Amino acid sequence: MIWPAVIIGSIGAYLLKLTGYVIPARVLENPRLRRLTGLLPVALLAALVAVQTFSVGTALQIDARLAGLAAAIVALALRAPFLVVVLVAAATAAILRASGLST
């Protein structure tokens, strides 16, 4: 039952890769398309952060993760290295959870 899904996924990945060779270069060099492809990863990452911060299953929940995100934003604004940003966010959420202030 899983093999049809694997085969369809493989064909889809191949066709997606093939479109990069088939699309004319003038289309790929369009300034609008270049701007879009530069901003698309940022939008996807922001959506992922929002979903992981505010959701539990299908419900909306505000908890220690929001405080961790806020601490990470402050650390980023202070130009801290990425590892420090991650540690500050994790420590903030852990401290809030350990103190019982948040679930």
The answer for residues whose C-beta is within 8 angstroms of residue 96's C-beta and 6 or more apart is 64, 67, 68, 102
58 residue type, one letter: T
Residue 9 has pLDDT above 90, yes or no: yes
pLDDT exceeding 90 applies to what percent of the chain? 74
Under the banding of pLDDT at 50, 70 and 90, the label for residue 58 is: confident
Residue 103 contacts residue 63 (beta carbons within 8 Å): yes
pTM: 0.66
What gap in Å lies between CA 81 and CA 65, rounded to an integer? 20
pLDDT per residue as tens digits for the range 13-47: 999 999 988 988 888 888 998 999 899 999 999 99
